[in-house]
Structure 1
Amino acid sequence: MEDKHKILELLNRKRNVLLMGAPGTGKSKVMNDVARAFEDGGSKLKQPSHVHGASIPIPAIAMPNGLELPMLQKKNRKVFRTTLHQNSKYRDFLTGIVPEFGSVGGYKINEGILYRANEFAKQADSAALLIIDELNRGPAIEVFGGSIVAIENDKRLGEDNSVLPTTQFFEIIDPVSGGMIEYAFSPNLYILSAMNQADASVAPLDVAFMRRWQSYKLEPNYEVLYNVFNMIPSSVLPTVFNDASDVYHVAFRALEKINTLIAIGRGSEYQLGQGVFLSTKPKDDSKDAALQFVLEAWAIIYSHIEELFFGDGISIGYIINASSPLSPYELVEVSFAGETKVILKSNSITTNNIFDLYYSIAGREQ
C-alpha cells in the first residue's frame, strides 16, 4: 500500500499524524499526495483509454485504492496549509488581537488557520485537513497553546458537535463577540504535520507535545530512483561507464553505502533521501549529461556529510572512502602547534573523476 493510503487511514483513526524522516525522503511529495487524495475522496477514477494491440481494446480501470474512509465520504472537504517558522504566533493558528491598518486603524481579532480549519470541519457533512510543514522549525508549543491536549482524538467533540464527557475545552478570544469563550475541536478536523529529524539547528519538540501525534516515518527509498530512471537494480557494479545507466547505477549504490555509514556514525534519522537525485532532471540521455547530473548531486551529498561531521575530517574521509586510490579526496597528516592533525584534501571534483569517486564509495568492502 502506498504511503498516502497508510497516512489517510492513520488520519482517519488518530486525527493527528506526524510525518518524520531524513531530508530528501519525499515528505513534501507525500503530503501533496495525501492532500489530493483527500480532496478527490480517495477514489477518483482515471478515464479508460484505448490500448493498441491489447486483447481487450479498452480495458476497465480499477479503483486506485479501496479506501472507504468516513473522512473521505464527507460531501465538503477542504485542505488548509501552513508552514511553521520562528515568527509564527498563537494568533496565526487560533485567534488573537492584531493591528488593523488603513484610514481608521485600531485592532481586530485574527482568525488563525487552525481556527478556520476547525470552523469548516464543524459545518454539516464537512471535513478539513490541515497540513503543517516544518513543525519543529517554529515555536510549536507556543503556537498551539492551550489546544495541545484538545487536539487528541479522544478529546474532540461528538460527530454532531455535541459535548462528550471526554471533550477538552480551552479558552480563545471569540472573533465574533470579542470575549473569551470555551472552544473545542471537531472530530472531522485532521492534522498532518511534517518535520525533518536531522535539523540540528532547531530544538527537539517537547515529549508531551509529541505524544499527541501518531508518527509515520519515511525511509530513503532507492527503488524510486531505479523506477524514475528506468533501471533494473543489479548487485554487479559496472567498473566503467558505457552509458548513462552505468553512471546512475554506481551513484545510487554509493548513496546507499553512504547512508549505511551515516546511520552507524550519527543515526538513521541523519541519512539523505532519494530526493537528492530527484530535485532536477538530466539534460538528456547521454553519458555526459549523466556525469554532470551526478556531479551536481555530489555537491549536495558532500555538504550534508560535512555538516553532520563538521570539523571531523577523519569521519568524513572514512564515509567517502578517501583512502581509495580511485578517490580524488585524501587524508593528510599535518603538524599544527606541535601536534599532528589529520585534514581532508581533495582535487577538483569534475565530470572526469566523479564516476571514480562514486565507484570508490559504492564498491568498498566495509
Structure 2
Amino acid sequence: MKYDWIDFYTEFATKLLTFKTDRKTLIQKIYAVYDAAGISVPKLESGDEIIDIDPFTVFGTFNKGITNANRIAILNGIASEFGIAANVPSNFDGIPVLNNLKATFYGFKDDRKANDIDNLWSLFEVALALADNDTEDNRQKFSEAYDKVHDQLCIRWNITMGLYWIRPYSFINLDSRNRWFIANAQNMPGEFVVAAEKKLKKVPYAADYLEIKDLCKKALDAGQYDYKSFPDLSYTAWIVSEKVNQEKSVEKGKKTSKAEFLKWFMPLLQALRDLGGSATPAEARKKIIENEHLSNEVVNETRGKTQVNKFENEVAFARNYLVGAGYIDKSVRGVWTLTEAGKTVELTADMASDIFKKGVSDAKSKKMNDSDALADSDVDTIHYWIYAPGHNAGKWEECYKNGYMLLGWGKIGDLRVFSSKDEMKQQMKKEYGDSSSYKNSAHATWQFVHDIRIGDVIYVKKGNNGILGKGIVESDYEYDADRTDEYLNVRKVNWTNKGNWIIKHQFPQKTLTDITPYSDFVQEIKALFEGDDIADDEPENIYPEYTAENFLDDVYMSEDDYTRLVGLLRNKKNIILQGAPGVGKTYAAKRLAYSMMGVKDVDRVMMVQFHQSYSYEDFIMGFRPSATGFELKKGAFYNFCKKAEVDSDNEYFFIIDEINRGNLSKIFGELFMLIENDKRGNTLQLLYSDEKFAVPKNVYIIGMMNTADRSLAMLDYALRRRFAFFDIKPGFETPGFREYRMALDNEKFNKLIRCVENLNREISADESLGEGFCIGHSYFCNLQPDTIDDSLLYGVVEYELIPLLKEYWFDEPMKVNDWIENLRSAIK
C-alpha cells in the first residue's frame, strides 16, 4: 500500500530540525500557517501566546482529532511556509492521532521544568540521526535522550507516536491499537508476544522500546504477514480494531439503525434553509425528498410489526439531536425553526458523530447523574421492568399476538420531542385537564422512550401480584400515529413466556416500574421461569473494557503506586485504602477492581457501607421478620461469595466503604479467619445454619477508611493482621492532575491549588494532625473550562475547606484565620 503522507512528514521533520535554535521564527511560522488555513491556533500554552514549542507538539497540531479538511489546510500552509517539495497528502492511513485534550508533549509554563522542551528537541535530533544511520553510538545517544524525556510531564505512549510520525519506517508506534494488536499471537510470532508482553504494560524506557522495535521489524521482515513495515502494521491494527469495536457494538444491541439517522442531519438543515428557515415536519420531509431525490422505496419503507415509517422516524430523531446541538429551535410546537447557528453550520461526518455521542452522553448523565463517581455510568446492564398492558391488562392479548408493548397518553404526541418530564406533564395537563399532577404518568412516558433499552426484560403484571408473561425488548421507541386508540407509543418485544403466576410481593400501582434495584423481588419473579428452556434467552451483557491505562487516566495516582497496589491486593487478597477525606478512595475502589478484571463487569463487583447498626445478620445471615413470623435471610457477603464460588475462573471484588465505622468483630464473626489468604477455600460452621461455609479464593476484599475521622477508634490488631493497608494521598503532583490543571487553564484555580499544597505541608508537619488529615484533590475535580468561575471556587473555599480547617485547628483560631485569608486571597 502507498502511504502518500510519509514523504511529506519525513521532509517536514528534516526541515523542522533547523529551527532547534530559532524557535521564535518557528512560532511565527506556525501562526502564519494557521492564518493561511483560516483556522484558530490550538491552545498550546496556559496563556493565549505560544512562548516555546517542541517538534513533536508541532506534528501533534495536525495529528489529532480534527477533520481531514482542516488537516489538509494546515499541511498546505506548512508546505508554503517551510518550502516542502513533497505533495500535500490527502490520505492519512496508518497515522495514529492524539487525544485533543492531551495534544502537547510538555506541561504548560507553570508546570513544566526549565529543560523539558530542550530535552524533546534533543530527542528529536538524535532520533533523526538514528533513523538515518543505525550505529551503536547513535543508539546510545538516542537512549540517553529518550530516557531523559520519558519521565517528563505529558509524556506517555504519545512519545512513540511522535517518533513514528517523523520516521515511520524506523520507529514503531505503540498507541493503544498497536499494543493490542501486537500482543496477540495470531498477529505476531509467539516468541515476540512473550518477549514484549511485560514491556508493553507501561511506557517502556529506551532499552525496552528499541528491543520491541527491533524484534517487531525482524518479524515483519521475515515476510510471514501481509504487513511488511511499521506503517502497514499501524494501518492493519487500526482496521482490525475498528472491526472488533463494531462487532462489540452490535453484540451490545446497538443496531446500525440506531445511528442511521445521522445521514439526515445536513439534509434536514438544508431543507429548512430552502424553506426560509422554518417549516412543519411534513414540509421539511417533503423538501428532503425533493433535494435528495429519494425513491418511493426509501420514503415508504416501514419497520417493526407496527409498520412505522422508517424515513419519518429517522428524520424526527435527527431533528431531536439537532435541537440538542443548538441548530434547531423547539420553542414553537409543530414547527421546526433554524437557530442562527443552524443557518450557517456545515456539518461534517465527524461533527454529526460528535452530536450523536453527546446526545447519548447527555441522556446517560440525566439518567445516572451521580454514578460517574462509582465508574459505572457507561455500563449498559439489563434492567427488569414490571409493566401493565392497559387497564386490568386489557391490552395483553393484543401485545402478545403482535409482539409489542404499548403505552397510552397518545394525545400528547411523539414522546421524543420532549426534553424533560416537566414538558410532558405540562402537555398532559393541556390535553387531559389539570386535575392531576401527572407526576407518575410523565415518569412512565419518559422511561418508556428514554430508559428502557434493547435487551431489557419485561414482566407483564395483572392486579396486585399476578404475572402474565415475560419478554425481551427488541426495538427502540416508535410512535404510531395511525393507531385509533390512545396507545400510540410502541416498542417491539419478543414475548418468550405466557401464563398465569402469583407471587408474594405486592406490585407498585404504576403502569411501568424499573424493579432492577430490588434484587429479592427480581429473583422471586425469575424463579417462576426456572427450568423453562425458553426462559434462558436473556441477552448476555457485553461490558466495556477497562485497563490499567484507563485507571491511570481516571485516578490521580502514579503508575508505580498503582502497580504496587495491584500486587499487594493480589498477594494479600484483602486491602484497606486509607487516607484523608477527598483523596478519592471511593472513586478509586471500583476502578481498581475493574482494572484488575480488565472489564467493567458490574456483576462481579459489590459495594456496601458499614455503619454502627450494620451486623452479622446483614453481612452473613440472620433471622428477619416476615409475614408468618421469622425467616432465615442470607446476607450481602454470603450471597456474593456463593455467586463467586460457581464462577471460579473469574475474579470478584467486594468493596466495603467506611469499614472502620462498623463493629468489625460483630459483623465478620467466624469469617475473620476465613478471609485470610491462606485460609481461603477452608470451611467453617456458620452461626445460624448447619452449613459449612468457605470464602472462595477468587474473592478480593477492598475496604476504605478515613484516617482523619477522630470519632472512631483504631482498628484492632486482629483485623490489621488480615488486611494490607495502602495510603491514598492527595494527587496534586500526579501527571494526571497536572494535565487536568492545564486543560482548565484558570489562573485563580492554579493559585488556589498552590495555596492548598502549602496548606497540606503545614498540616503534615502538625504533630496533632499529620498526613492523614491533608486536603484531597477530590474537592477540585470534575470542573470544566467553560463552567469554572469565581462563584464555584468561592463555594469550595467557604463551604468545604474553611469548615474543615476550623475543625482541624479548633483550638488555634489565629492559625485558622491566617489560612482562611490565604485561601480567600488565592481566588480574588
TM-score (norm 1): 0.65
- State yes or no: 1:294 paired with 2:818: no
Shift of 1:80: 1.6
Aligned residue among 215, 229, 254 for 2:741: 229
Shift of 1:358: 5.8
Matched residue, 2:576? 18
Please give the alpha-carbon distance, in whole angstroms, between the structure 2 residues aligned to 1:246 and 1:226: 13
Shift of 1:114: 1.2
User: Is the Cα contact below 8 Å between 1:79 and 1:128 reproduced in 2?
Assistant: yes
Change (3 A) 1:253 1:296: same
Aligned residue among 106, 110, 113 for 2:633: 110
- State yes or no: 1:98 paired with 2:600: no
Q: Aligned AA for 1:89?
A: S
Residue 810 of structure 2 aligns to a residue whose secondary structure is coil
User: Is the Cα contact below 8 Å between 1:17 and 1:191 reproduced in 2?
Assistant: yes
- State yes or no: 1:31 paired with 2:602: no
Please give the alpha-carbon distance, in whole angstroms, between the structure 1 residues aligned to 2:737 and 2:581: 15
Please give the alpha-carbon distance, in whole angstroms, between the structure 2 residues aligned to 1:132 and 1:305: 28
- The 5 Å alignment of 1:178-257 reads 180-222=690-732, 223=734, 224-230=736-742, 245-257=746-758
Shift of 1:292: 2.0
User: Is the Cα contact below 8 Å between 1:247 and 1:290 reproduced in 2?
Assistant: no
Please give the alpha-carbon distance, in whole angstroms, between the structure 2 residues aligned to 1:32 and 1:125: 20
Please give the alpha-carbon distance, in whole angstroms, between the structure 1 residues aligned to 2:624 and 2:680: 28
- State yes or no: 1:281 paired with 2:783: yes
- State yes or no: 1:171 paired with 2:673: no
- State yes or no: 1:270 paired with 2:773: yes
Matched residue, 1:130? 654
Matched residue, 2:642? 119
Q: Aligned AA for 2:651?
A: A
Residue 575 of structure 2 aligns to a residue whose secondary structure is strand
Q: Aligned AA for 1:261?
A: E
Residue 756 of structure 2 aligns to a residue whose secondary structure is helix
Instruction: Compare relative contact order (CA 8 Å, sep 6+) and give the higher one, 1 or 2.
Output: 1
User: Is the Cα contact below 8 Å between 1:94 and 1:172 reproduced in 2?
Assistant: no
Shift of 1:7: 3.6
1:28-83 CA-to-partner distances (Å, cap 9, x unmatched) read 11112123335xx3279xxxxxxxxxxxxxxxxxxxxxxxxxxx9xxx97112211
Residue 211 of structure 1 aligns to a residue whose secondary structure is helix
1:300-334 CA-to-partner distances (Å, cap 9, x unmatched) read 1111111111232133245x1x7xxxx48xxxxxx
- State yes or no: 1:156 paired with 2:687: no
The unaligned stretches of length 5 or more in structure 1 are 45-71, 158-166, 175-179, 233-243, 329-352, 360-366
Please give the alpha-carbon distance, in whole angstroms, between the structure 2 residues aligned to 1:87 and 1:309: 31
1:140-187 CA-to-partner distances (Å, cap 9, x unmatched) read 221111211221101111xxxxxxxxx46353323xxxxx33322211
Aligned residue among 669, 672, 684 for 1:145: 669
Q: Aligned AA for 2:728?
A: L
Greater Cα radius of gyration, structure 1 or 2: 2
User: Is the Cα contact below 8 Å between 1:16 and 1:214 reproduced in 2?
Assistant: yes
Please give the alpha-carbon distance, in whole angstroms, between the structure 2 residues aligned to 1:43 and 1:209: 30
Please give the alpha-carbon distance, in whole angstroms, between the structure 1 residues aligned to 2:673 and 2:599: 33
Change (3 A) 1:259 1:129: same
Q: Aligned AA for 1:82?
A: V
Matched residue, 2:231? none
1:254-309 CA-to-partner distances (Å, cap 9, x unmatched) read 0101111111111110111001111x535726xxx532222111121111111111
- State yes or no: 1:314 paired with 2:817: no
User: Is the Cα contact below 8 Å between 1:120 and 1:127 reproduced in 2?
Assistant: no
Matched residue, 1:61? none
User: Is the Cα contact below 8 Å between 1:146 and 1:171 reproduced in 2?
Assistant: yes
Aligned residue among 805, 808, 812 for 1:305: 805
Matched residue, 2:759? 258
Please give the alpha-carbon distance, in whole angstroms, between the structure 2 residues aligned to 1:218 and 1:122: 31
Q: Aligned AA for 1:138?
A: G
Please give the alpha-carbon distance, in whole angstroms, between the structure 1 residues aligned to 2:599 and 2:618: 33
Change (3 A) 1:128 1:43: closer
Please give the alpha-carbon distance, in whole angstroms, between the structure 2 residues aligned to 1:2 and 1:93: 34
User: Is the Cα contact below 8 Å between 1:117 and 1:129 reproduced in 2?
Assistant: no
User: Is the Cα contact below 8 Å between 1:120 and 1:126 reproduced in 2?
Assistant: no
Change (3 A) 1:153 1:5: same
Residue 172 of structure 1 aligns to a residue whose secondary structure is coil
Residue 722 of structure 2 aligns to a residue whose secondary structure is coil
- Identity, % of aligned positions: 26
Please give the alpha-carbon distance, in whole angstroms, between the structure 2 residues aligned to 1:78 and 1:21: 26
Please give the alpha-carbon distance, in whole angstroms, between the structure 2 residues aligned to 1:115 and 1:34: 22
Please give the alpha-carbon distance, in whole angstroms, between the structure 2 residues aligned to 1:90 and 1:296: 41
Matched residue, 1:162? none
Aligned residue among 59, 63, 78 for 2:604: 78
Please give the alpha-carbon distance, in whole angstroms, between the structure 2 residues aligned to 1:282 and 1:43: 27
- The 5 Å alignment of 1:332-351 reads none
Residue 115 of structure 1 aligns to a residue whose secondary structure is helix
Please give the alpha-carbon distance, in whole angstroms, between the structure 2 residues aligned to 1:20 and 1:31: 11
The unaligned stretches of length 5 or more in structure 2 are 1-558
Q: Aligned AA for 2:654?
A: L
Please give the alpha-carbon distance, in whole angstroms, between the structure 2 residues aligned to 1:21 and 1:277: 17
Please give the alpha-carbon distance, in whole angstroms, between the structure 1 residues aligned to 2:570 and 2:643: 17
1:198-225 CA-to-partner distances (Å, cap 9, x unmatched) read 1112222212212210111111011344
Please give the alpha-carbon distance, in whole angstroms, between the structure 1 residues aligned to 2:751 and 2:650: 50
Shift of 1:26: 0.9
TM-score (norm 2): 0.30
User: Is the Cα contact below 8 Å between 2:707 and 2:772 reproduced in 1?
Assistant: yes
Change (3 A) 1:119 1:260: same
User: Is the Cα contact below 8 Å between 1:150 and 1:184 reproduced in 2?
Assistant: yes
Residue 669 of structure 2 aligns to a residue whose secondary structure is helix
Residue 696 of structure 2 aligns to a residue whose secondary structure is coil
User: Is the Cα contact below 8 Å between 1:15 and 1:191 reproduced in 2?
Assistant: yes
User: Is the Cα contact below 8 Å between 1:82 and 1:133 reproduced in 2?
Assistant: yes
User: Is the Cα contact below 8 Å between 1:4 and 1:33 reproduced in 2?
Assistant: no
Q: Aligned AA for 1:144?
A: F
Q: Aligned AA for 1:270?
A: F
Please give the alpha-carbon distance, in whole angstroms, between the structure 2 residues aligned to 1:257 and 1:309: 16
1:115-155 CA-to-partner distances (Å, cap 9, x unmatched) read 11211222153432111111012222211112112211011
User: Is the Cα contact below 8 Å between 2:590 and 2:605 reproduced in 1?
Assistant: no
Please give the alpha-carbon distance, in whole angstroms, between the structure 2 residues aligned to 1:184 and 1:209: 18
Change (3 A) 1:3 1:168: farther
